[in-house]
Structures are given as structure tokens and as C-alpha cells.
Amino acid sequence: MKILVINNDGGGFADYVDVADGTTVAQLFERQIGSTKPSHYLIRVNRQPCPADQVLCEGDRISITPTKIEGANS
Amino acid sequence: MLFLRDYGDTEVGGFGIAASDDLLFVEDIQLVKQVCSWAHVAFDDESVADFFDRQVDAERRPEQFARIWVHTHPGDCPRPSMTDEETFERVFGRADWAVMFILDCEGQSYARLRFNVGPCAEVEIPVGVDYSRPFSATEPDTWEQEYLANVHAEQLRRGMASTLEPVLASPFDEEPTDAWYESWFDYAAEEEEAEELIL
Ligand SMILES: [Zn+2]
């Protein structure tokens, strides 16, 4: 089945990918991001935060976006 | 960027939107919801995710909208702080390349391009306005609306907690449940065990 994946790591990604039926959010995260800790990201499915074991469905949009973007001047 | 810098007294930050044919040519600056003080700016995580969704819906690629991180320094020094360096490393160190751009109150700027692939070089780059490219008319009203919708000064937050609470609210429609925390906690623990086994 096809799902839309959005993330900025590596070359950046915003495209449909084929995943096996029954793929969970955690499995997809591992495939896209590898070993980086999930706590460094906000992971949403169809614009809603999701549990790691949520099973993805055809047409889902999963976004893996950075968190804690902070600047300071001193 | 000058308009955004001068509208309030605080730092303000956003993402540079690059031309599709020149990823270092910034056509627009987009804000996300943020809490700011004179010395600090922090983006709202959910608003960052919404920004990614909107940009993808507009058919832009992440390298066009998520690589140029811009913010202001209300003082007279555009050099990056420790916090800036930490964010640039942690957040933008995993993309193939990224730019940190800082504009200070006196018009001095700082821009550094980092490549995280190949020889992984970092280099300060010059900043200029390219008048040879067509540009649209200034839209101060639109900019003002964007500023007011996104930039929330920290000192206001204390006095207007009820008004600004949604900015910092949890990214959940409802409060996250114990099951949600456990699912990601278990996942992270398994990951760490796997790492230890490899070591
Ligand atoms: Zn800074």
C-alpha cells in the first residue's frame, strides 16, 4: 500500500512510499530515520500524534518533523 | 525580514523559502508559532509540523522550505549563541545541508552553510539582495497579520495565559494517554537494548 511520508533528514522527503500491510509507525520511522531517537521528532499520522504501534493504512500521511527549534542571542 | 525584526522588541524566527531553481535564493520568510523574548525564541513543535504539511501541500520540497533557518538578534551582534549552535547541530545536522541566518538590530547579518554529507564542510557565506530577480510588491499588512498570528512575547504569556495557551498547548487534540507514552517508551527502550547488543 502507498503512504505519504514527510521528513527533512538526509536529502529530505515528501513522497509516497510503498509499505507492507501491517506496517506500524515505529517500523516506518526506523526505515526512514534509522537509529536516531524518536524523541527528537514530532511524529504525526494524518496531522495527529500517534502511538508507536499504530498500524498504517493506505493513503495515510506520516510526518516526522524536528522539535525544540530554539535560538538565543547570548 | 527587516519588517519582522523591527515590529516587536523580541527575537523572531522562521524558515526561508527558497526558489526551486536556486536553493540559496530566499523568496519568502515564513513564520511558525513561537514564544519569544529579547534573548530567546522557541518554535512551537506542532506549528512546525503544520508548516511542513502546508509546504508539502503547496508542492514544495523539504530542501526548499526546511533548510534555511532564520532568526533575529535584537542586540548588535549577529554571531550565533551556544543555543543557536546546539539547535543548528541537533535539528539541522541530519539534513544533507542547511543554513543558519541571523540578522541583528543594526543590520549586520551572519549566514553559515553546513554540509552534512561528503566532507561535511561548514562555511560562512555572504548575504545580498539579488535585484536582478523579479520581486512582488511589499505587503506590510499581510506581514503584520502573520507576525501577530505567530509571534508571542514571553512577558505577555505570563499576563495573558488564557489567550496564548493554545500556542504552547500539547499537540494532541486530547491529553496524551498513558498508553501513548508507554508505546513510545517501550519502543525507545527496545532501541537502546538493541544498541547495547551491537556495542
Ligand atoms: Zn541566535
Task: Say which CATH number the domain at A32 has.
Answer: 3.10.20.30
Let me know if residue A51 belongs to a domain: yes
Q: How many domains does chain A have?
A: 1
How does the average pLDDT of chain B come out, rounded? Answer: 84
Q: Do A69 and B62 touch (CB under 8 A)?
A: no
pTM comes to: 0.83
Pick the range with the lowest mean pLDDT from A9-18, A56-65, B37-46, B100-109: A9-18
Let me know if residue B140 belongs to a domain: yes
Let me know if residue A11 belongs to a domain: yes
Let me know if residue B196 belongs to a domain: no
**Chain segment B152-181, per-residue pLDDT in tens:** 988 654 444 444 444 455 555 556 667 777
**Which residue from B minimizes the CA distance to A49?**
B172
Let me know if residue B174 belongs to a domain: no
Q: Which of residues 103-132 of B touch A (CB under 8 A)?
A: none
Let me know if residue B192 belongs to a domain: no
Pick the range with the lowest mean pLDDT from A44-53, B57-66, B134-143: B134-143
Q: Which domain holds residue A38?
A: 2-66
Question: Helix, strand, or coil here: B40?
Answer: strand
**Which residue from A minimizes the CA distance to B35?**
A70
Let me know if residue B177 belongs to a domain: no
Let me know if residue B128 belongs to a domain: yes
What is chain B's alpha carbon radius of gyration, rounded to the nearest angstrom? 19
Let me know if residue A24 belongs to a domain: yes
H/E stretch holding A8 reads none
Q: Which domain holds residue B19?
A: 2-168
Q: Which of residues 64-103 of B touch A (CB under 8 A)?
A: 66-67, 69, 71, 73-75, 77, 81-84, 86-87, 90-92, 94-96, 102
Q: Do B61 and A26 touch (CB under 8 A)?
A: no
pLDDT of residue B179: 73
Let me know if residue B114 belongs to a domain: yes
pLDDT of residue B12: 94
Write the DSSP string, A3-63: EEEEE-SBT-EEEEEE--TT-BHHHHHHHHHTTS-GGGEEEEETTEE--TTPBP-TT-EEE
ipTM: 0.94
**Chain segment A37-55, per-residue pLDDT in tens:** 888 899 999 999 999 999 9
Let me know if residue A60 belongs to a domain: yes
**Per-residue pLDDT at B85 exceeds 60:** yes
Ramachandran angles phi, psi of A24, nearest 5°: -95, 170
Q: What is the CATH number of the domain that holds B121?
A: 3.40.140
Give which of B190, B187, B170 is closest to A53, Cα–Cα: B187
Let me know if residue A72 belongs to a domain: no
**Per-residue pLDDT at A24 exceeds 70:** yes
Q: Give the integer Cα–Cα distance in Å for A68 and B63.
A: 20
- What separation in Å is there between the alpha carbon of A37 and the centre of ligand 1? 25
* Grid coordinates of B57: 501541500
pLDDT of residue B164: 44
Q: How many domains does chain B have?
A: 1
Residues 6+ apart with CB under 8 A from B168: B35, B44, B157
Let me know if residue B198 belongs to a domain: no
